[in-house]
Amino acid sequence: MASPRDISRSSLSEPASHSLSASPAATFTSPPASHGSFLAGSLAQRTATAAAKQLKPFNTGDIKILLLENVNQTGRDILTSQGYQVEFLKTSLPEDELIEKIKDVHVIGIRSKTKLTAKVLQEAKNLLVIGCFCIGTNQVDLEYAAQHGIAVFNSPFANSRSVAELVIAEIISLARQLGDRSLEMHRGTWNKVSAKCWEVRGKTLGIVGYGHIGSQLSVLAEAMGMSVVYYDVLTLMAIGSARQVPTLEKLLEEADFVTLHVPETPETKNLISTEQFAQMKNGSYLINASRGTVVDIPALIKAMRAGKIAGAALDVYPNEPAANGDYFLNNLNTWAEDLRGLSNIILTPHIGGSTEEAQRAIGVEVAEALVRYINQGITLASVNLPEVTMRSLTLDESNHARVIYIHRNVPGVLRKVNEILAEHNVDKQISDSKGDIAYLMADVSDVKTEDIKEIRDSLDSLSSRIMTRVLY
């Protein structure tokens, strides 16, 4: 990973202080080597050719980070090893305490329980970036954050393998009716049966949605001797001997096991309903660990009662409780008790991605994204800002500064920015926009501290400005 650089932030809500936060006493220490993730690996490769520039003394302790909700140790280690001031709490905070705490932090790391609403974020005058150490970002007002130049990162795919492994377990469990046999034994009943219990070898798995999870599952299923067919709205290269089929109907006709791995969209709502159950093989199985809206559950109940579907595994539901407890009842989903009464149905509480490995991977991925953003301004994988990256400054590039200008995407801005930067030597520059927000990065050479201040003052004075940062 490339070297951290000093940070200065000015925003609409904060008078520019022009303190460039260089601590005369501090000594720069290189950040640790890669933490082993594929992201770290690829970044390391990219930067290996040019040694990172020796920075002017500065103090990364200036960056204050608040981590809530027991963020995984992997993420905490990466952030503390950068020298940032990291405060770690095991729980989320009530809104009033959150507002108090968020006032002076530059970075906040949360999971799914902390709600970062506009009301909370408007108090966060120094906030540069939010790390969601989880899959979803619904808990953050992404639009408000973007409008105020606050980047948001998450980790959407770190748990793909965990989901794929759960599905493999479910395929065998359904084929052997393991859930029912286990329940019977727990009740004291010995019921040794082989009728309608099958090996999975030689059976056909139909994967709907061949993305991160679907494609991993394809490899695992073939290793167990299954044939794999898949259907996806995109034409995707098959892994191993898997075969793409042109329509969902074709997949449903061929598959002994149908497993769903599509996103929640208007097109995937009730993707599997009465008509699709009719197209499935008699005695086939359905697995849904994608999103609860993808299966029409009353139609599934009918198909199972009729014996058309021999078993099902559901990990996700249209309505899911916010906390653990005895909530899987009819008042949450009107059909809950009918579902619970069926045989050979595995019901799990949205645990597909819930493993220690997935939590660790999420910790690494999000913390590394935060470090890249804080130290270099790289927005790759941000969910709410344009994705912009630029190679790191090197040892040969002394007295360079990286200028970051987050601004409204209105006509004429680039001309004005270029007029300001034209007085200096711009080595490289890149800019991109997303909706009405644009993100510009420029590396400027042969600059003195006074120049940095002048550049920042000039950019701050433009009416399009959302946030200016200078890393040097």
Ligand X SMILES: NC(=O)c1ccc[n+]([C@@H]2O[C@H](COP(=O)([O-])OP(=O)(O)OC[C@H]3O[C@@H](n4cnc5c(N)ncnc54)[C@H](O)[C@@H]3O)[C@@H](O)[C@H]2O)c1
Residue 320 is a catalytic residue: yes
For residue 455, what are the contacts with CB-CB under 8 A and spacing of at least 6?
401, 403, 420, 421, 424, 444, 447, 470
Q: Name which of 33 and 322 has its Cβ closer to ligand X.
A: 322
C-beta separation of 28 from 57 below 8 A: yes
The yes or no reply on residue 254 touching ligand X (CB under 6 A) is: no
Residue of 46, 222, 249, 350 marked active site: 350
Residue 148, φ and ψ in degrees, nearest 5: -110, 15
CB of 106 to ligand X, least distance (A): 30
Task: Say how far apart CA 423 and CA 420 lie, in whole Å.
Answer: 6
Q: Which stretch binds ligand X (CB under 6 A): 41-49, 187-195, 206-214, 450-458?
A: 206-214
| Residue nearest to ligand X as judged by C-beta position | 211
Cβ nearer to ligand X, comparing 295 with 403: 295
Look at residue 414 and give its three-state secondary structure: helix
Q: Which of 87, 143, 320, 337 is catalytic?
A: 320
What are the structure tokens assigned to 201, written together? 């070898």
Q: How far apart are CA 56 and CA 5, in angstroms?
A: 9
Compute the least distance from the CB of residue 111 to ligand X, in Å. Answer: 14
Q: Which of 111, 176, 181, 291 is catalytic?
A: 291
- x/- mask, ligand X, residues 118-157, rule CB under 6 A, reads -----------------x---------------------x
Judged by CB under 6 A, which stretch of 42-50, 69-77, 225-233, 462-470 contacts ligand X?
225-233
Specify the residue, 45 or 265, whose C-beta has the smaller distance to ligand X: 265
Distance of CA 71 to the CA centre of its chain: 14
Size of the site for ligand X (CB under 6 A): 31
Among 72-80, 95-103, 257-265, 421-429, the segment contacting ligand X (CB under 6 A): 257-265
DSSP letter (8 states) at residue 253: H
For position 181 contacting ligand X by CB under 6 A, the verdict is no
Strand stretches in 119-171, DSSP E: 129-132, 151-153
Could you give the CA distance from residue 347 to residue 258 in angstroms, rounded to a whole number?
A: 16
The whole-angstrom separation of Cα 316 and Cα 170 is 14
- Asked if residue 290 binds ligand X (CB under 6 A), the reply is yes
Contacts to ligand X from residues 351-380, by CB under 6 A: 352-353
Does 234 engage in binding with ligand X (CB under 6 A)? yes
Residue type, 301: I
Letters for 88-107 (x = contact with ligand X by CB under 6 A, - = none) are --------------------
Work out how close the CB of 328 gets to ligand X at its nearest, in angstroms, rounded to a whole number.
16
Contacts with 302 (C-beta within 8 Å, 6 or more apart), sequence order: 274, 277
Place of tokens 């007029």: 419
Residue 221 CB, nearest approach to ligand X (Å) = 15
Among 142, 289, 300, 301, binds ligand X (CB under 6 A): 289
Q: Is 267 in the site for ligand X (CB under 6 A)?
A: yes
What single-letter DSSP state applies at residue 5? -
233 binds ligand X (CB under 6 A): yes
291 is catalytic: yes
Beta strands in 187-326 (DSSP E): 204-208, 227-231, 243-244, 257-260, 284-288, 309-314
Would you count residue 53 as binding ligand X (CB under 6 A)? no
In sequence order, what are the residues at sequence separation of 6 or more whose Cβ sits closer than 8 angstroms to the Cβ of residue 408? 436, 437, 438, 464, 466
The span from the CA of 106 to the CA of 86, in Å, is: 10
In the structure encoding, which two tokens stand for residue 193, read together?
Answer: 């049966």
The window from 168-176, 210-218, 373-381, 454-462 that contacts ligand X (CB under 6 A) reads 210-218
Contact status: 316 vs ligand X (CB under 6 A): yes
Q: What minimum distance in Å lies between the beta carbon of 268 and ligand X?
A: 5
Where in the sequence numbering do the catalytic residues fall? 291, 320, 350
Residues of this chain that interact with ligand X (CB under 6 A) are 135, 157, 159-160, 163, 208-214, 231-234, 261-265, 267-268, 289-291, 315-316, 350, 352-353
